[in-house]
């Protein structure tokens, strides 16, 4: 299993956390009843919050975490029925046990109590031992239900992308706590939207990008209400932004300094359009001499820092002191620069197609694929040539996400599942033609293989299609819009 029910909560070192406080709210205008309830419930380890009317009780529920509520019905300022209705309107207390303890025992009174949202209706006089037992049973039942929603798992077995996709699909609300030997972090989300994130001292999208790179560690989901944060974006958007960041990193890979390399200011200056660059050069000017020292000062993700520093080195604003001393990078093979990876974009409209593509390319995979479901990236090696392959949903409505990747790709494929995908494939191919990109329509389904759609039935045919596209990318006369190239299929 990738995750399991967590009936108890441990911290990252495996130590048992202190049992949480049990909070009970009692509302009654009779001081004698309040005192008796307080005495007996305190013996059962409950922390007591007392109110003499519904209005006071409502305010206490807003100011304190409450696990269970006992209330009289007839009280001044706000009666118990109104209190119960207002409590149930608060999402935080949709499942909190609510018990009416009242002298009104008629059938209509009971019906009114249950309709207002009560779980139990106990008529005075009552046996204190029976009430305490009911309270403990209701409390335990709710805590077991809540803990069944708390998942734990290992990032070696399931990628963070997949965990977040599960919570996006089920529209959960809460915080995903992340632990590994480098520190602790958390991601809060609600109804499919990532609200905020932190990793050690880093926060916001930088923290999220940092955690997406983890291959080891553990996670624990805590269902709870979360407030607005600094991110406030859908997971699908975050995945695409991360893919773009990784793509940009690959384009400047040769300029990324080694972790142990020293950094110094270069002759060129940073423009106002690069605020990250200004912060980095200022850090170098004030004594930060390598990537780690800059990261500790600015609290940014490794990926964003490497990208910014690489751009600064490329533009001559920062120099890598190892290179300045005359030691060249090991990016030469046989006396000539090593070949840069080619970029290929594969568009699809169904997760089943994505999984099929990943399976066909698995024999050429390097490193392991993330299999996030909505988008993916992998680096493959074919005949000693390296290809960076991006997988993106190709429907029209996602053009704002796939078009930037298409713009910087050498070649692209659109994989049709059914004939209905033809409309999206045509829209995609029109953009590819406008950008002068080599393009091919393919399908794993023979029923879709009309003129202009190439049938793919094996890994060899998938690899052949990628090689053909890249060959066409080097021959401008063969770059297609759906005419000359398709005739060659």
Angle at CA of residue 147, ends 141 and 153, nearest 5°: 160
Tell me if 411 sits within 8 A of 473, measured CB to CB. yes
Contacts for 285 with CB less than 8 Å, ≥ 6 apart? 265
d(CA 421, CA 442): 11
pLDDT in tens, 61-90: 988 888 899 999 989 999 999 999 888 887
Phi, psi of 44 (to 5 degrees): -95, 20
Predicted local confidence at residue 17, as pLDDT: 32
Residue predicted with more confidence, 167 or 445: 445
pLDDT, mean over the chain: 80
Tell me if 399 sits within 8 A of 349, measured CB to CB. no
Tell me which residue has tokens 């007996």: 40
What are the structural domain ranges in the chain?
A: 22-147, 151-238, 252-327, 339-487
Predicted local confidence at residue 28, as pLDDT: 93
In the chain, the percentage of residues whose pLDDT exceeds 70 is 84
Give the single-character DSSP code of 416. E
Binning pLDDT at 50, 70 and 90, where does residue 369 land?
very low
Q: Across the strands, what pairs with 51?
A: 27
Tell me if 84 sits within 8 A of 106, measured CB to CB. no
d(CA 480, CA 488): 10
pLDDT in tens, 240-269: 777 777 778 777 878 888 877 899 999 999
Predicted local confidence at residue 339, as pLDDT: 56
Distance of CA 256 to CAs 247, 270, 303, 358, 481, Å? 14, 18, 10, 29, 36
**How long is the chain?**
489
Scanning 252-378, the segments in alpha helix (DSSP H) are 275-285, 291-298, 302-314, 321-324, 351-361
Kindly state the tokens that stand for 387.
């290809």
Contacts for 203 with CB less than 8 Å, ≥ 6 apart? 196, 197, 230, 299
Q: Across the strands, what pairs with 187?
A: 176, 197
Phi, psi of 306 (to 5 degrees): -60, -40
Neighbour count for residue 196 (Cβ, 10 Å): 21
d(CA 45, CA 42): 5
Tell me if 136 sits within 8 A of 120, measured CB to CB. no
d(CA 51, CA 59): 9
Binning pLDDT at 50, 70 and 90, where does residue 91 land?
low
Query: Which is nearest to 163 in space by CA: 354, 3, 348?
Result: 3
Q: Across the strands, what pairs with 4?
A: 152
Tell me which residue has tokens 């239900």: 145
Say yes or no to pLDDT of 58 above 50. Answer: yes
Neighbour count for residue 86 (Cβ, 10 Å): 19
pLDDT in tens, 112-121: 888 888 888 9
Say yes or no to pLDDT of 428 above 90. Answer: yes
Q: Across the strands, what pairs with 249?
A: none
Angle at CA of residue 327, ends 321 and 332, nearest 5°: 125
Tell me which residue has tokens 């991360």: 242
Kindly calculate the radius of gyration of the chain based on its CA atoms and give it in whole angstroms: 30
Could you give the dihedral angle defined by the CA atoms of residues 3, 7, 13 and 14, in that order, rounded to the nearest 10 degrees? -110
Residue 427, SS3 per DSSP? helix
Is 3.30.420.10 the CATH number for 339-487?
no
Which of 261-270, 354-363, 412-421 has the weakest average pLDDT?
A: 354-363
Residue predicted with more confidence, 375 or 50: 50
Establish whether domains 22-147 and 339-487 are of one fold. yes
Say yes or no to pLDDT of 30 above 70. Answer: yes
Binning pLDDT at 50, 70 and 90, where does residue 319 land?
very high
d(CA 226, CA 228): 7
pLDDT in tens, 213-231: 888 888 888 888 888 888 9
d(CA 51, CA 31): 10
Helix axes 422-434, 399-407, angle to 10 degrees: 40
Long-range contacts of 371-374 (CB under 8 A, 24+ apart): 371/159, 371/161, 371/162, 372/159, 372/161, 372/162, 372/165, 372/239, 373/161, 373/162, 373/165, 374/165, 374/235, 374/236, 374/239
Residue 200: HSE in the Cβ half-sphere, 13 Å Cα cutoff: 13
Predicted local confidence at residue 337, as pLDDT: 40
d(CA 225, CA 241): 26
Predicted local confidence at residue 57, as pLDDT: 94
Q: Which CATH code, of 3.30.70.1230, 3.40.50.2300, 1.10.3720.10, 3.30.565.10, is assigned to 22-147?
A: 3.40.50.2300
In the chain, the percentage of residues whose pLDDT exceeds 90 is 28
Which helix H or strand E contains 381, and what residues bound it? Answer: strand 375-382
Which helix H or strand E contains 432, and what residues bound it? Answer: helix 422-434
d(CA 264, CA 279): 14
pLDDT in tens, 167-221: 776 777 889 999 988 889 999 988 878 999 999 888 898 888 888 888 888 888 8
């Amino acid at each position: 299993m990738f995750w399991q029910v967590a009936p108890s909560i441990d911290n990252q070192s495996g130590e048992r956390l202190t049992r949480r406080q049990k909070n009970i709210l009692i509302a009654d205008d009779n001081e004698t009843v309040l005192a008796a309830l307080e005495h007996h419930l305190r013996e059962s380890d409950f922390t007591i919050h007392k109110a003499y009317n519904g209005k006071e009780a409502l305010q206490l529920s807003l100011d304190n975490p409450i696990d269970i509520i006992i209330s009289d019905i007839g009280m001044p300022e706000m009666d118990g029925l109104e209190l119960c209705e207002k409590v149930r309107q608060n999402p935080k207390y949709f499942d909190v046990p609510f018990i009416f303890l009242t002298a009104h025992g008629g059938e209509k009174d009971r019906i009114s109590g249950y309709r207002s949202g009560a779980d139990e209706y106990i008529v005075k006089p009552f046996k204190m031992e029976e009430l305490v037992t009911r309270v403990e049973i209701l409390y335990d039942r709710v805590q077991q239900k809540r803990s069944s929603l708390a998942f734990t798992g290992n990032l070696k077995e399931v990628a963070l992308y997949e965990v977040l996709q599960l919570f996006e699909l089920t529209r959960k609300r809460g915080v995903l706590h992340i632990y590994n030997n480098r520190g602790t972090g958390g991601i809060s989300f609600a109804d499919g939207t990532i609200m905020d994130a932190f990793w050690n001292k880093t926060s916001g999208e930088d923290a999220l990008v940092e955690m997406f790179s983890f291959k080891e560690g553990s996670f624990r989901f805590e269902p709870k209400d979360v407030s607005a944060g600094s991110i406030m974006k859908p997971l699908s958007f975050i995945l695409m932004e991360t893919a773009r960041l990784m793509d940009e990193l690959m384009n400047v890979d040769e300029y990324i300094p080694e972790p142990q390399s020293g950094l110094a200011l270069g002759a060129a200056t940073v423009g106002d359009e690069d605020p990250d660059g200004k912060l980095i050069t200022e850090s170098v000017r004030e004594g930060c001499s390598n990537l780690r020292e800059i990261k500790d000062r600015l609290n940014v993700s490794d990926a964003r820092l490497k990208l910014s520093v690489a751009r600064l080195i490329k533009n001559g604003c920062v120099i890598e002191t190892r290179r300045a001393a005359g030691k060249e990078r090991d990016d030469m093979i046989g006396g000539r620069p090593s070949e840069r990876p080619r970029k290929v974009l594969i568009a699809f409209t169904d997760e089943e197609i994505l999984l099929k593509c990943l399976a066909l390319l698995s024999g050429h995979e390097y490193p392991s694929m993330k299999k996030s479901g909505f988008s993916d990236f992998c680096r493959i090696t074919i005949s000693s040539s390296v290809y960076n392959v991006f997988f993106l949903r190709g429907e029209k409505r996602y053009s704002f996400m796939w078009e930037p990747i298409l713009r910087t790709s050498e070649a692209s494929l659109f994989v049709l599942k059914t004939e209905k995908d033809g409309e999206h494939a045509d829209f995609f191919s029109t953009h590819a033609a406008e950008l002068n990109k080599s393009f091919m329509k393919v399908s794993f389904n023979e029923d879709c293989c009309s003129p202009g759609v190439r049938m793919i039935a094996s890994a060899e045919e998938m690899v052949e299609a990628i090689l053909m596209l890249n060959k066409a990318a080097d021959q401008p006369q063969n770059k297609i819009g759906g005419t000359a190239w398709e005739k060659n299929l």
